[in-house]
Structure 1
Amino acid sequence: MISSEAAATILVYGFITSLVYALFAEGFSLIFGVARMIDAAYGMWYTAAAYMAFALVTVYNIPSLVTFFATVAALFAAGFIYYWAVLRRIKEHIEMIMTTFLIALVIQNLIVLLFTNFPWSTPAVFPGSTPVFGVSVFNQQLAAAVAASALLILLWLLIYRTKVGLAIRSVAQDVDAAVCVGIRPERTMALVLGLSTALAGLASLLVTPQSTITPVLGWPMLTLAFAIVVLGGLGDYRGTLLAAFVIGYVEITVQNLVSPLYSGAASLIAVLLTLWLRPKGIFGRSVE
């Protein structure tokens, strides 16, 4: 029998964790849904954002708010350039995976060169804690949940209620038809890459304050994003959001009732069971 304290902990921390997972995974889902690309370097943008913010705040004493916007802007620009300089030239999936994997290794080694392998800790932007349903939650985590919720809503509005979103969805559905109505697919894909890397950076900036960062920080997040996107249905906003909550709550439940050592394995088992029952994912289409 689960105690009321454990149930409250799972409810609160599962919700917070799932929101951040969803924000991160939506960027990965966008890349696949629009550009049909599997970006193995996606997790490294998460890592790069954490180290950039760390350097700006602790080394150069830049205010946290300025650091936040500067890092997001830098990630967006990096993603935009990343598409034009590298990704648009690659046509084969295997070549795409290998190239982006090598880019991820280059970014990781640059981080090691600049910051060493030593784990650094970043200060909390919102120190202290607040009780929620009897559970003590760090204010930084509450801020992350509120910000992630707002950003997910803004992302939905961008995709489904704006002309930019219409262009993104048109390219995702039929590139040739999009060209016929005056949409420039390559410009749209570059925008999507900028947006997705910015989302990776935003997720990092919400989570990494008050935690430890290392050069390999992004690899588990990449695995997580891939699992969420496959579970939810490749390129589907609703499915990705729901899958993030499934995996988030599975992980937090196992952490609290069994052991943190098994949380990652439990989430992957949940993905495999779901795909066994529904190979297309929750809402998406099958992989070709």
Structure 2
Amino acid sequence: MAATTAVKPRPFAEALTRTQNLIATRVDAVLVGEDTLSDAMRYALTGGKGLRGFLVLESARLHGVDEDVALDAALAIECIHAYSLVHDDLPCMDDDDLRRGMPTVHRQWDEGLAVLAGDALQTLAFELLSDAKFGSGALGLIRMLAQAAGKDGMVSGQMLDVAAETSPEPLTLQQITRLQNRKTGCLISWSAMAGAVISGADTTPLRHYADALGLAFQIADDILDVEGDAETVGKRVRKDAEAGKATFVSLLGLDAAKARAVELCDQACAALDVYGDHGETLRDAARFVISRDS
């Protein structure tokens, strides 16, 4: 069993902070340019929770993958996530002024640079994953990320979200679940499975974990949009209700949405039983996802 070679897990808060610091240091090493494009790319990568990168490093730890190797995969997924946010915030999409408590990239600079910074972050992710250090796992990582981020994954989910804004009928629960599985869940799934892919291990337990985690994450986001405040959340809130968009909260009700998030957290934790105590940090991550305030 791959988990027998895992390094001892750290407490979740420590592991998440450590991930943030490792990724920030790696960003400084990779983005060494002093030009405006590099500045905008670094800016877009600043201030996030680093949850996806954390999932990469934790799944790598579970499978005995060298952290120096896994770190570039962690940065790669953070680049993809950051690119998606930069483009999502543009006036032609969600038209947001605030992200992670800071002006969005197109407000800090302009729309043209925001588009280019997003494009450059996306291509940087694949450049990182093409390094020889990933060995035979590189092709699998690249192919899976292209699928997770592309027309059948995140971009598809975003397209469904855009279409929903002009639809005469609100989305059903099944439709909103499909949308969010693509828009949010696909990148979370890639992150959680990355360590297993690199090591050539079975990805099934982590895929089940990530499926539940990704949906719980989005339900928690919908709850924050209702109960959170912009200063704490770091972005505009209550925008879904203002736009008349269907969410898990509007479809289920606030209490039922919270209960569903707890159920999904329990499912995610149970999926890690195969890893025993080595999976405890990932279990804590699931609990964090549904209790966070930002």
TM-score clears 0.5: no
TM-score for both structures, normalised by structure 1: 0.34
TM-score for both structures, normalised by structure 2: 0.33
